[in-house]
Structure 1
Amino acid sequence: MSYKKYYDNRDVISLFSGAMGLDIGLQEAGLNVAIGQDFEPACVKTMKANGHNVLGGDIREIKPETLLEMTGLKVGEPFMICGGPPCQPFSTAGKRLGINDPRGSLFMDFIRMIDYIKPRFFIMENVKGIVSAPLKHVPADERDGNDPEQQLGTVLDVILSEFNKLGYKTVYGILDAVNYGVPQFRERFILIGSRDNEDVFLPVPTHFQMHQDPNYRWKTVGEAIKDLEDEDGECGKLTPERKKYLRMVPEGGNWKDLPKDIIPVAMGGAYESGGGKVGFYRRLSYAQPSPTITTAPAQKATMLCHPVKDRPLSVHEYARLQQFPEGWIFTGTTAAKYKQIGNAVPVGLAKAIGEAVIAVADKNAVVETKRFRGTSIHNRIRNALELGTYSGKIAAAML
C-alpha cells in the first residue's frame, strides 16, 4: 500500500504522554501533536489545562480507531506515533525481579497501535536499563546455563523483533539530555522507526563539556534557575532534622561533606548499607548541570536541594530543569507535580529527536560525506553541529 499522498502530514499521536515533555519538544521541532493519551488522572488534567486534545484511560481498553476518529486521521496518515510505555522493571535502579517480558506488558499495546494506525515514523523512549535487561533476571549465584528460561535473551531483543515484524526500519541508542542543551544529566533509551525504510538516525549532540563557543557548552543549573533564587514557590518540605543537616552541606555537596562525627546519625540505617548513596543531603551546584531529577526531591535518599537555599528545588525550578515552557500548568498535589515533571522527557532532547526525524522526512539527511574531506577540523565540527544529520554524525566521527 502506498502512503505517498500523506507525506506532507506532520500530525503526531502521543501515547503515555504524561506531562507532555516529549510532545512539547516535538512541537518545537515543527510537528503537530494531534492528541495525547495517558492513564494517570493528574496527567490527563495537566494536558487539558494546557489546551490539548486528550484521551484519558487505560490504553489496554482503547481502540486505535478511536484515536483516529478523534484526530480526523486515517490509517497510514499520521506522521508519527510517540510514547514511552511504562517499563519500570527494566530500570537500572533497584532490583529486576521476575520475567520482564514486554510481550505481556503495555509495550504490546504500543505495538498494537502502530500495527493498526501505521504511522510513517514512531519514537519510543524508555529507561536506559531496557537495553541490558534480561527477560528473566536471576541472581549471579543462582544462574544455570542449562535453564532455557535463562537463555531467553534481553528485553531489547524482543522489542526489536516486534518492530521488525511490523516492517519498520529502526535505529536506537542511549542519549544523554545534557548533550542537547538540557541543564541536566539524563540518559534515555531512544528508538526511532521508519515504516517506509527511510534512513532514520539519532540526533547528533549539539552541546559539549568543553567548547570554544559558549553557546555549545553544557547548560548549567545556574543558567536555568538562578533568577528564581528568591522565589521559594511551591515546594516540598524537609523535616527540621533534615534541614538541620542540609545547612551543613556546601553547594554541590552531599552527605559526605557533613562533619565526620555527625554522618552516622544523619544517615541513620543507610550509613551501614552499600551503594553510593549520592542522593542523601544532596545540594546542586549552580556551575554544573543537574543530576537526573527524581520524582521526589524531598525524600532522604533522593534529595535534590537548592544550591544555596535550605529547601528542595521548587516545582517551578524542576520545570525549568526539564525545559517546560514558562506558564505551563501542572495539576494535582505538589507530589503529583514533581512526579509528572520528574518522569518527563526533557524538552530539548525531544526537540533534537524531532528535528532528526523531520530531516529524514524532508530528505535533508543525506549529504555526501566527501563534503567534509579536506576541510579544517574546526569547520568539520561546525558543519556537523549545523547539519544535525547522519552525514553530520559521520563528520563528527571523522574528527
Structure 2
Amino acid sequence: MNVVEEILTIQETAKHLKVTPQYVRLLIKENKLFAKKIGKQWIIEKNNLLDYVFKYNIIIEPDDHERKSNNIPDIVALSFFSGAMGLDIGMKNAGINALLACESNKYCRMTIEKNNPNIALIGDINKYSVTEILEYAKVPKDRKVDVIFGGPPCQAFSTAGTRKALDDERGNVFLRYIEIIEEIRPKYIVIENVRGLLSAPYPYKNIDTPIKGGALLIILDRLKEAGYEISFELYNAANFGSPQSRERIIILGKLNGKKLPYLLPTNSDNPEYGLPKWKTLREAFEEKNFKTHNYVQFPEKRLKFYRMLTEGQYWKDLPEEYKLEAMGKKLNMGGGKTGFYRRLSMNKPSPTLVTNPTMPATDLCHPIEDRPLSVEEYACIQDFPENWVICGPILERYKQIGNAVPIKLAEAIGRVIIADIKNESILSIENFKYSRYKNTSDIAWKKEMDSKIKKMIKK
C-alpha cells in the first residue's frame, strides 16, 4: 500500500483506497473504518486505515507497473485480456509463463495483483504502443517474443448478443490485438473466443452484404498476410478433463512454419476412443475440501420451483400449471432465454457457466441444497487452484470465474505449443469429434465458406 500521512481526510482516504468519498462515509457509518469527527470534518488516522485494509483483506486496484524481475525465461510470453488468469494458469502449468498481463477490469486487475504481483500489468490495450508493452514486460530489444495469447472480448461475436462483430467497440479491441501480433510477430499466437465467431456476419471483400463468418475471414486474412499458418477448432472443455460442457473456439497460429495440430483430448463421452469418461461434477467436488461457500441466495419466488425439481431437471420438468410462471411470463423474473432453471446433475459435467450479473448469481441450482453454486464451487469447475484468490464483490467474482478459460483446456493449448517448440511429435486421435456442431475445424469451415461465397457471387 502507498505511504500515507498520519491523518487523512475523507477525500484523501478515498484517493488512497481508489473509491468514492461517499463509499468512505459508508464504511465509517458501518463501523468498518474508524474515524473521528472534528467540527464538521471526519479524519482517519493512518493506523486505522491500515487496520481496515488488513481486517477486511482489502485489495486496492493496482496501478500499471513493470515486471518486478529482470530475468528472461527460455520462453518469452505475453498475455492479453487476462481476466482472472484462467488461460495464464493453464499455459503456465504446461510450461509457458507470461511476463505481462493486459487487463482493464479493475476487479480482474486486483485478482492478478493478489496472485501474481511480480508480473507486468497494463490496462486498456488501446493506450499502449508495442514499444511500451515490451518495456513494461522488460523484454530486451534483441529478444524475440515467443508466444502471445489471449481471449479478446467475445460479446461482439456472441450468438446471444447483438452480433456487431468488428463494428462493435469490443470488436475493434479484437483488431487491436491483431495489430499487436502483426507488430511483435511472435512465433506462436493463441486466440480464444466463443462459437459465435464462426458465424459473426460482416461484409467480405467485394461482397457488400454482411456474410455469416465474414468477421473471421477478415481476421484470418490479416494473420495469413502477417505470415501465420492457422489451425482452429471448436473444443468442448469436457474433452480435456474439465468437469463442464463448455465449447470455445481456439485459434492457433505459427509464424513461417507448418500449422499446429489440433489439441489432444484426454477424455470423451464416446467409449470408442478408449479415453476416460468425462469428469462429473461429483468427482470434481469430492476432490476438494470446501471450507466455505460464498453465494447469493435465490429469492423465495424462485426457490419454490427448484423444490419441485429433482437432480438434473429444469423448467420443462415442472408441472404444467407452473411453467409459465417459472419462465417469467407471470412473474418479472427474466423470461425467454434468461428464464432458465436447472438442478445440476452430480453424475454429469456442469452445463456452461451462467454469469449474467443482472440475474441472480447463477441459474444453476446445487443438486442437493436449495442454493446456487458458490464462488468456490464455480472455481472448482474451472479448475482454479484452491489458493487462487478471486477479488471483488461476490457478483464480480462469479463473473470473473465464468469468463475465464477452463484451465484444463488452456493446459492442452500450452502442451501443443511446448511440443512444437521441442520438435516433439504430437499424437492425434483420428476423426475425433471435438464438439456437437458441424464444420467447426479450419479445414471444414473454410470449405463451407468458400462454397457460400461462390454462391453469393453468382447471385
TM-score by length of 2: 0.71
Cα deviation, 1:229-267, whole Å, max 9, x if unaligned, reads 986611022111111221211111111222222222222
Residue in structure 2 matched with residue 19 of structure 1 by the alignment: 84
Between the aligned residues of both structures, percent identity stands at 40
Residue in structure 1 matched with residue 155 of structure 2 by the alignment: 88
Residue in structure 1 matched with residue 428 of structure 2 by the alignment: 392
Q: Does structure 2 retain, via aligned residues, the 8 Å contact 1:102–1:158?
A: no
CA distance 1:124–1:227, shift in 2 (3 Å): closer
Q: Does structure 1 retain, via aligned residues, the 8 Å contact 2:86–2:410?
A: yes
RMSD after superposition: 3.2
Residue in structure 2 matched with residue 77 of structure 1 by the alignment: 144
Task: Give 1:124 deviation, angstroms.
Answer: 0.5
Instruction: State the alpha-carbon separation in 1 of the partners of residues 295 and 391 from structure 2.
Output: 14
Task: Give 1:336 deviation, angstroms.
Answer: 0.5
Q: Structure 2 unaligned segments of length 5 or more: list them.
A: 1-72, 434-459
1:62 to 106, 125, 128: 128
- 5 Å-filtered alignment, 1:211-222, equals 211=271, 216-222=276-282
Q: Does structure 2 retain, via aligned residues, the 8 Å contact 1:19–1:340?
A: yes
Greater alpha carbon shift after TM alignment, 175-184 vs 50-59: 50-59
Cα deviation, 1:123-179, whole Å, max 9, x if unaligned, reads 000011101111169xxxxxxxx9823359611101101111211111111111010
Instruction: State the alpha-carbon separation in 2 of the partners of residues 104 and 318 from structure 1.
Output: 28
Task: Give 1:108 deviation, angstroms.
Answer: 1.8
Instruction: State the alpha-carbon separation in 1 of the partners of residues 329 and 161 from structure 2.
Output: 18
Instruction: State the alpha-carbon separation in 2 of the partners of residues 242 and 186 from structure 1.
Output: 25
Residue in structure 2 matched with residue 106 of structure 1 by the alignment: 173
Instruction: State the alpha-carbon separation in 2 of the partners of residues 297 and 285 from structure 1.
Output: 24
Is the partner of 1:262 in helix, strand or coil?
helix
- 5 Å-filtered alignment, 1:267-282, equals 267-269=327-329, 277=337, 280-282=340-342
CA distance 1:164–1:280, shift in 2 (3 Å): same
Is the partner of 2:201 in helix, strand or coil?
coil
Amino acid at match of 2:115: N
Task: Give 1:98 deviation, angstroms.
Answer: 7.6
- 5 Å-filtered alignment, 1:347-386, equals 347-365=407-425
CA distance 1:310–1:17, shift in 2 (3 Å): same
Instruction: State the alpha-carbon separation in 2 of the partners of residues 153 and 254 from structure 1.
Output: 33
Task: Give 1:224 deviation, angstroms.
Answer: 1.2
TM-score by length of 1: 0.81
Which structure's CA Rg is the greater one? Answer: 2
CA distance 1:165–1:101, shift in 2 (3 Å): farther
Is 2:324 the partner of 1:258?
no
Is the partner of 2:233 in helix, strand or coil?
strand
Instruction: State the alpha-carbon separation in 1 of the partners of residues 225 and 274 from structure 2.
Output: 45
1:237 to 288, 293, 297: 297
Is the partner of 1:269 in helix, strand or coil?
coil
Length, aligned pairs only: 358
1:33 to 98, 102, 126: 98
Residue in structure 2 matched with residue 287 of structure 1 by the alignment: 347
Q: Does structure 1 retain, via aligned residues, the 8 Å contact 2:305–2:318?
A: yes
Instruction: State the alpha-carbon separation in 1 of the partners of residues 251 and 392 from structure 2.
Output: 31
Is the partner of 1:123 in helix, strand or coil?
strand
Amino acid at match of 2:121: L
1:148 to 198, 208, 223: 208
Amino acid at match of 2:300: P
Cα deviation, 1:347-382, whole Å, max 9, x if unaligned, reads 0000001101111111112xxxxxxxxxxxxxxxxx
CA distance 1:148–1:73, shift in 2 (3 Å): same
Is the partner of 2:202 in helix, strand or coil?
coil
Task: Give 1:32 deviation, angstroms.
Answer: 1.4
CA distance 1:101–1:329, shift in 2 (3 Å): closer
Q: Structure 1 unaligned segments of length 5 or more: list them.
A: 1-7, 138-145, 366-388
Is the partner of 2:329 in helix, strand or coil?
helix
Is the partner of 2:77 in helix, strand or coil?
strand
Is the partner of 1:201 in helix, strand or coil?
coil
Is the partner of 1:135 in helix, strand or coil?
strand
Greater alpha carbon shift after TM alignment, 205-214 vs 104-113: 205-214
Q: Does structure 1 retain, via aligned residues, the 8 Å contact 2:104–2:123?
A: yes
Ranked by relative contact order (alpha carbons within 8 Å, sequence separation 6 or more), the top structure is: 1
